[in-house]
Amino acid sequence: MSAAVVRRRLGRVGLNLAAVVVIVCAVFPVYWMVNTSFQPGSAVSSPTPSFWPTVFTVDNYVTAWTTGGLLPALGISLAVTLTTVVAALVFAFLASLAVSRYRFRSRTSFIVAVLIIQMIPAEALIISTFRILDGWQLLNSILGLGFVYIALVLPFTIWTLRGFVAGVPADLEEAAMIDGCSRTGAFWRITFPLLAPGLVATGVFAFIQAWNEFIYALVVMTRPESQTLPIWLRSFVQATKATDWAVVMAASTVMAIPVIVFFLLVRGRMTGGLVSGAVKG
């Protein structure tokens, strides 16, 4: 073997070792969360950690569910998030149609405004938002938080959907119109089906944003019975951390699962595409 071959082989080994390190670093916290959540509390609060659940139990999930108050928080989170996703998709879809299918004055200003709004940190608006919702008797209400979230996810949803709408050539619609479709008919029969994947992807991202949102929920949902999942989880940690990490990890897992599943669903396609594209060269 020549020196060059040896060096290349060593390079390969080093590269794969680095890859393993990256995999371990990326996955380990997620694994540790799930691992802890399936262990009995006594095993978790022991001087030697067990690296897999030697005594497998779902008690922590039952505890979080029944005594921890996870269920009501889950319900509120689902209600707020689904409201947000549906309304944001409809509004953003209409707006993205306007932006990508029509040329009109102030079109560029709208796009710039959407971009700028995305840069305004939520922290800067929480106080005023609190006061406004307070004035409208919308504190601690799913509707109030829903309104805020719709506005919050809109810039991003408009931005992404705009890309998808622009990706469907308007020629297709025009062709259908020449064949006798009305403009609306052409849109619903030709363009809309082609947009479905875009709508799904955008909806998933809106879901994740609303599901994970923390600051507004912290300020707007002040009553314990109207807490969303993140707020509930945080106060649950505050109340129990040193005593029951296993239950905290079970609750964390419940909150993370929908996001992870959705993420793998949408982004899996993306990386899949990246991988196959790269393999094809």
Partner 1 sequence: MTTTLTPPPVALAPAADATPPARRRPRRTFTPFALLTPAVIMLAVFIGWPLVQTVVMSFQEYGRPQIFGAPAPFVGLDNYIAVLSDGEFWLVLARSLGLCAVCVVATMVLGILIALMLERLGRVMRFAVSVALLLAWAMPALTATIVWGWIFDTQYGLVNYALTALTGTDWSGHSWLIDPLSFFAVAAIVITWGAIPFVAFTVYAGLTQVPGEVMEAAALDGAGAWKRFRLITVPYLRSILFVLLILQIIWDLRVFAQIYALQTVGGVRAETNTIGVYIYSVSMASGDLGAGGAISVILVVIMLLISGFYIRSMLRQEETA
For residues 83-122, which are near partner 1 according to CB under 8 A? Answer: 87, 90-92, 94-95, 97-99, 101-102, 104, 107-108, 110-117, 119-122
Pick the binder of partner 1 from 70, 73, 140, 147 (CB under 8 A).
147
**By CB under 8 A, residue 178 contacts partner 1:** no
Residues whose CB is less than 8 angstroms from the CB of residue 100 and which lie 6 or more positions away in sequence, other chains included: 162, 165, 166
Among 6, 10, 13, 19, indicate the residue that binds partner 1 (CB under 8 A): 19
> What residues contact residue 223 under an 8 Å CB cut-off, 6+ apart?
140
Please, which of residues 35-74 interact with partner 1 by CB under 8 A? 36, 44-49
Report the C-alpha gap between 165 and 176 in whole angstroms. 17
> How many chain residues are in contact with partner 1, going by CB under 8 A?
106
Residues 6+ apart with CB under 8 A from 129: 148, 216, 219, 220
Window contacting partner 1 (CB under 8 A); options: 57-65, 73-81, 189-197, 248-256:
248-256
- Asked whether 160 and 202 are in contact (CB, 8 A), the reply is yes
Question: How far is Cα 185 from Cα 190, in angstroms, rounded to an integer?
Answer: 8
Q: What is the dihedral of CA 122, 125, 126, 130, to 10 degrees?
A: -140
Nearer to partner 1, 194 or 266 (CB): 266
Shortest Å distance, C-beta 156 to partner 1: 12
Q: Which is nearer to partner 1, 1 or 26 (by Cβ)?
A: 26
256: tokens are 């993370």
CB 49 within 8 A of CB 245: no
CB 27 within 8 A of CB 42: no
Residue 56 CB, shortest distance to partner 1, in Å, is: 19
Q: Measured between alpha carbons, how far is 192 from 176 in angstroms, rounded to an integer?
A: 13
| Residues numbered 193-212 forming contacts with partner 1, rule: CB under 8 A | 211-212
Binding partner 1 (rule: CB under 8 A), the pick from 8, 182, 196, 225 is 182
Q: Does 221 bind partner 1 (CB under 8 A)?
A: no
Stretch that binds partner 1, among 1-9, 20-28, 62-70, 73-81 (CB under 8 A): 20-28
* 55 vs 116 by CB, closer to partner 1: 116
Minimum distance of partner 1 from residue 20's CB (angstroms): 8
As a three-state string, the secondary structure of 213-268 is: CCHHHHHHCCCHHHCCHHHHHHHHHHHHCCCCHHHHHHHHHHHHHHHHHHHHHHHH
Segment lying near partner 1 (by CB under 8 A), choices 11-19, 57-65, 67-75, 168-176: 11-19
CB of 1 vs partner 1, minimal distance in Å: 20
Regarding 155 and contact with partner 1 (CB under 8 A), the answer is: yes
* CB closer to partner 1, 56 vs 121: 121
